[in-house]
Structure 1
Amino acid sequence: MDRRLSRAARRVCAGLGLTLALVAGALAPASADAGAAPADTARTEGDAVRIMPLGDSITGSPGCWRALLWADLVEAGHTDADFVGTRPGDGCGFEYDGDNEGHGGFLVTDVAARGLLVDWLARTEPDVVLMHFGTNDVWSGVPTETVLDAYGVLVGQMRAQNPGMRILVAQIIPMDSDRSCATCGQGVEDLNAAIPAWAEAQDTAESPVLVVDQWTGFDADADTYDGVHPSGSGDRRIADRWLESLLPLLA
């Protein structure tokens, strides 16, 4: 754990005490996709900004970039940031707001086809979505255009729940073809190359769609432990990229 993280953890445990009814379910370990946490949906004026991390195992199992990002937001003074989702967080070495919508093994195309996001949104009512989704689709050989169509379905569902939804979509982290599938490396590149134009077409003033580059500079050898899932250094890189894009929205 780096010194920056230690400072954030001490502030969390000591100074913030924490205003963390947020943390309630965060320390319970979560298996692949069992034990969905009950969601609180009561909203009042002046509520915290509700942020949904959305994706597959890179987001949810354990997805410790979320813990780092939450600690960074607290350190930056955003103690009102409330991570939301129907799933609790895994242990990442310190207390944090672990709620998320990261479902190990899920394909974004399947989530769109089955309408699963509609219920997750209704139960958690996010204001901001951080979406890193599509790794399993690439591994399964799903064409880029099909993945983008699924992204569009999810954006429509987000806006049906909240017309002012702010949507951050990641160009996903690379995969090592030697440790995943032979076509995975190129598949990720193809998807990421297509995301900016897709996002521009989806973007509106009321509900912006912002691209977050999680791909550039991410080393699948050094920053993953298996060619797919982020290691400690990968979690740090992912958290930093989300933070850079989130801070202007929360200012």
Structure 2
Amino acid sequence: MLRFMPVGDSMTIGSAGEHTWRYRLWRHLCVTHGGPFTFVGPREALYDKAADAATSYAYADPDFPRAHLAGWGEGWLHMAPLIGEAVRAHRADVLLVSLGLIDLGFYTNAEQTAENVRAFVACAREAAPRIRMALLPVIPNIRAAADASFAEQVDRFNVLLAKAVADLDEPRAPILLVSPPESYDIHADTYDGTHPNARGEHRIAGAFAGAMWEAWGIGHSYAAGTG
């Protein structure tokens, strides 16, 4: 069985009442992947905005493998120390990672964030030397649209992320740089300029699905109707 672990921040954990892109990708893989698979990770909850904590299980459709390693307000800085144990404990085969916005917004500059990417990769590989990873760059968001200096940091980090992927990719443990969703629109694809609405969930799921299909032959190209 192929074991996927979604790793991310608020865009990946989602909040109460949402489907999440994790659900959309699962639905897609149910239709297109030819073998058994599941999602794994140490967490299952959604973020509850009223409680300001990840305590909700009120998924719009809870009938899917909800496991993940994602947290509201967490980034590469937070996940690098956790990923090794999570991979070992849950025997992940593929990491689907969407991180960076929180790091750049609150904790680290582009160069420091890129170093945490490299630490994350090293810890994941120490736990599972043949693990595969698909890494999504920081996608458009309202802060980058309004703050030129922040936008420069995002652009710089995405360049450094691409370099890290090129440097660290190897045949026994491949790393993909996922292409951001084409023409991602913060007004049409999010509900607040950052967090995906249903359309945005499909587009993020589609980005991961397309990358895995093209590089590894997993699943197929994404059709929104499957999610």
TM-score range (shorter-chain normalised) is: 0.7 to 0.9
1:210 aligns with 2:176: yes
1:157 aligns with 2:157: no
1:56 aligns with 2:9: yes
CA contact (8 A) 1:51 1:84 kept: yes
Residue 77 of structure 2 aligns with an amino acid whose one-letter code is T
Residue 83 of structure 1 aligns with an amino acid whose one-letter code is F
TM-score normalized by the length of structure 2: 0.81
CA contact (8 A) 1:176 1:185 kept: no
CA contact (8 A) 1:69 1:243 kept: yes
Residue 140 of structure 1 aligns with an amino acid whose one-letter code is F
CA distance in 1 between counterparts of 2:29 and 2:110 reads 33
CA distance in 2 between counterparts of 1:125 and 1:240 reads 24
Written as runs of structure 1 = structure 2, the 5 A alignment for 1:94-243 is 95-112=63-80, 115-140=81-106, 142-177=108-143, 183-214=149-180, 216-243=182-209
Partner SS, residue 130 of structure 1: strand
Residue 143 of structure 1 aligns with an amino acid whose one-letter code is N
Instruction: Summarize the Cα distance change of 1:129–1:249 in structure 2 as closer, same or farther, 3 Å threshold.
Output: farther
Partner of 2:26: 70
Structure label with greater radius of gyration: 1
Residue 166 of structure 2 aligns with an amino acid whose one-letter code is E
Post-superposition offset of 1:123: 1.6
CA distance in 2 between counterparts of 1:228 and 1:58 reads 8
Partner of 1:3: none
Partner of 1:29: none
CA distance in 1 between counterparts of 2:93 and 2:33 reads 18
Written as runs of structure 1 = structure 2, the 5 A alignment for 1:3-22 is none
Query: RMSD between aligned alpha carbons?
Result: 2.1
Partner SS, residue 64 of structure 2: coil
CA distance in 1 between counterparts of 2:196 and 2:152 reads 19
Instruction: Summarize the Cα distance change of 1:106–1:180 in structure 2 as closer, same or farther, 3 Å threshold.
Output: farther
CA contact (8 A) 2:181 2:203 kept: no
TM-score normalized by the length of structure 1: 0.74
Post-superposition offset of 1:166: 0.7
Partner SS, residue 140 of structure 1: helix
- Higher mean C-alpha deviation, range 87-96 or range 49-58: 87-96
Post-superposition offset of 1:215: 5.2
Post-superposition offset of 1:178: 7.6
> Larger RCO: Structure 1 or Structure 2 (Cα < 8 Å, ≥ 6 residues apart)?
2
Q: Percent identity?
A: 25
